[in-house]
Structure 1
Amino acid sequence: MPLATPLSPVTLSGHLVRLEPLAHAHLPGLQEAAADGRMWERWYTSVARPEDMAADIERRLAMQERGEMLAFTAVRREDDAVLGGTTFYDIDADVPRVSIGYTWNRESAHGTGTNPESKLLLMTHAFETFGVQCVRYETSWMNAQSRAAIERLGARRDGVLRADRRERTGSLRDTVVYSVLASEWPSVKDGLLHRLRNRVPAAPPE
């Protein structure tokens, strides 16, 4: 069944992180998050400089209006600190299929479990609410850290697109494509839940 587009903004909440629809009100938090580790200097990210963040929000919201993207701001539930952003993009309504990407998080949040939980929230929504047949991930061949992270999610490598696009530096990029299919989702979900089990806060005593 075709996917209805544009995708409707929604808030997705986990134990560690809350994914809120991107809004202009997130500007100060996103600027602060980008400054944590000077994320715009990482060659493998597309993070805007703090002074360019307002224009970046406008650009993503315009793409969202055209049905090309659904953008989220990641917020840590513990203290409501903005961590970064992520999106659904490359939306194919007929398959249906979505890609998850343009993801970044402030440096101090790396390794805290917020990123895998964000992916769990996004894939759960994609498969169980949108009813997609495929969720796709892409990264640069040279970004070994990103490739390893995607593989830890349980995604399978589909192939490598040689000289697929240019990086911000102007160099040609080989793009590695991964995917999770609807038939694989139950086992991938179980794996992510198992991976996050020790990150979930203990329930208060009754």
Structure 2
Amino acid sequence: MFTKHIHQTNKLALEPLTQNHLEGLYQAGQDPQIWRWVLMNYTQTRAILDDWFINTAQFNAEQQIVYAIVDKVSKQVLGTTRLFRLDKQNRSAEIGHTFIAKKWQRSFVNTHAKYLLLQYAFEELGLVRIIFNTHEQNQKSRNAIARLGARFEGISYKDRLLADGSYRNTAQFSIIDEQWPTIKSQLEGKL
């Protein structure tokens, strides 16, 4: 169902992730603070990144598509994001596994990237529900999701087993198709 094509605004491109993006992704992921709330730092070494690219980023093209976030002016890879857990029956998916290089956080990048993914999900794929999940305590991520216009739905307790053996409580948000025209207009005002 996913098609591998580039989505872009005047400032940013979402390019289906390829081997050519990995060095830029490695550079973008070097600030340890990026990985505080994430299950795994796959940019820790180039070997881990290569393994992640082959075994995770390429996993099941029917259910996910992984993008490199690229600045159109500098051509620099700023991070990655994906549309995944595609449920064709219920016409829903999740947006996440996003990381943005530290110096590009709280800039135009997240708004442009999420706008492009939401537009693709609702207008091209015809989905009716998009989910966003983050660590309950990751206030920066929760604020970014809320700024997009997503509705907080609640906390899923002990939702994910983390690498250190503890469990993550997950804050879940959503946007549904009836909300998209208003949210689209608001996001376009920020682009």
Match of 1:86 in 2: 81
**TM-score normalised by the chain length of structure 1:** 0.86
Q: Which residue of 2 aligns with 1:53?
A: 49
Question: Residue 175 in 1 paired to residue 170 in 2?
Answer: yes
For residues 111 and 94 of structure 2, the distance between their equivalents in structure 1, rounded to whole angstroms, comes to: 16
Question: Match for residue 36 of structure 2?
Answer: 43
**Residues 1:118 and 2:102 are matched in the alignment:** no
Question: Matched residues in 1 for 2:10 and 2:165: separation?
Answer: 40
Aligned residue for 2:128?
133
Name the aligned partner's letter for residue 165 of structure 2: G
User: 1:99 — aligned with what?
Assistant: 94
- Equivalent pairs: percent with the same residue? 27
After superposition, the CA RMSD in angstroms is: 1.4
- Which of 69, 72, 75 in structure 2 is aligned with 1:77? 72
Corresponding residue SS for 2:50:
helix
Give the secondary structure class of the aligned counterpart of 2:160: strand
User: What is the alpha-carbon distance in structure 2 between the residues aligned to residue 59 and residue 121 of structure 1?
Assistant: 25
**How many correspondences in the alignment?**
188
* CA distance in 1 between partners of 2:182 and 2:137 (Å): 28
TM-score (norm 2): 0.93
Task: Look at both structures and tell me which one has the larger radius of gyration over its CA atoms.
Answer: 1
Q: Take 1:79 and 1:26, find their aligned partners in 2: how far apart are those partners?
A: 14
Structure 1: tracts of 5 or more residues without a match: 197-206
Check conservation: 2:63, 2:87, Cα contact below 8 A. Answer: no
- For residues 68 and 130 of structure 1, the distance between their equivalents in structure 2, rounded to whole angstroms, comes to 13
In the alignment, structure 2 segments of 5+ residues that lack a partner are none
After superposition, what is the alpha-carbon deviation per residue over 1:56-91, rounded to whole angstroms, capped at 9, x for unaligned? 1112343133x2311100101110000010011111
